[in-house]
Amino acid sequence: MSNMFFAKQTNEFSWDKLGDISKGRENLGELMPVLVYRLLEYSMNDVLTQEFGVEKASELFFKSGRLVGIEFTNNVMDKTLEPRAFFSMLEEKLIEYKMGILRIEKFNYETGEFVLTIDEDLDCSGLPSTDEMVCQYDEGFLSGIMEAYTNNKYIVEEIDCWASGARVCRFRGYVKGS
């Protein structure tokens, strides 16, 4: 089966490829239920896991999230803001786009290390407790945001997850190599 649209875009994701959603969805609008998002995410995760295994599927979800985080920051955020204002803007944007409710628990201005939570997370809030961390996409997304903002590579790890029973997603991030 050939898909010329995606074949022509190999390794070329960028914000402008998303198109003019308001023009293309004049009747249905830009919003959709979280259920539809999760149908795509979890079916894709299942296929990738079946084809490549859990570790590779997680790696690919992280890489996808990182790419989106970079594009999101470059196209939606003001990278010239000082950290407090930047995180405040990020809190607002995540609510505006209905991605989750961000709270900064700790941010070290000297090292760039942080701990933050996302409540009502798009990926996992409401899932049954399975003792798993399932937000690899979010880890990548936050890594990409911080990379685009600081020009440093970031390691971001989920340390609590709704699916692990924590009822909130908590992430720790730090500059790679520090």
Three-state secondary structure string covering the chain: CCCHHHHCCCCCCCHHHHCCHHHHCCCCCCCCCHHHHHHHHHHHHHHHHHHHCHHHHHHHHHHHHHHHHHHHHHHHCCCCCCHHHHHHHHHHHHHHCCCCEEEEEEECCCCCCEEEEEECCCCCCCCCCCCCCCCHHHHHHHHHHHHHHHCCCEEEEEEECHHHCCCCEEEEEEECCC
Q: Which CATH superfamily is domain 63-175 in?
A: Trafficking protein particle complex subunit 3 (3.30.1380.20)
Q: pLDDT per residue over 67-77, tens digit each?
A: 999 999 999 99
In this prediction, residue 55 carries a pLDDT of 96
pLDDT of residue 12: 81
Q: What is the pLDDT of residues 86-104, one digit of tens each?
A: 999 999 999 999 999 999 9
Question: Quick one: tokens of 58?
Answer: 């997680």
Mean pLDDT across the chain, nearest whole number? 92
Domain segments of the chain: what residues? 63-175
pLDDT digits (tens, 9 = 90+) for 131-165: 889 999 999 999 999 999 999 999 999 999 999 99
pTM for this predicted structure: 0.91
pLDDT score recorded for residue 6: 54
CA atoms of 70 and 140, how far apart (whole Å): 10
Q: What percent of the chain shows pLDDT beyond 70?
A: 94
CA-wise closest residue to 104 among 145, 65, 74 = 145
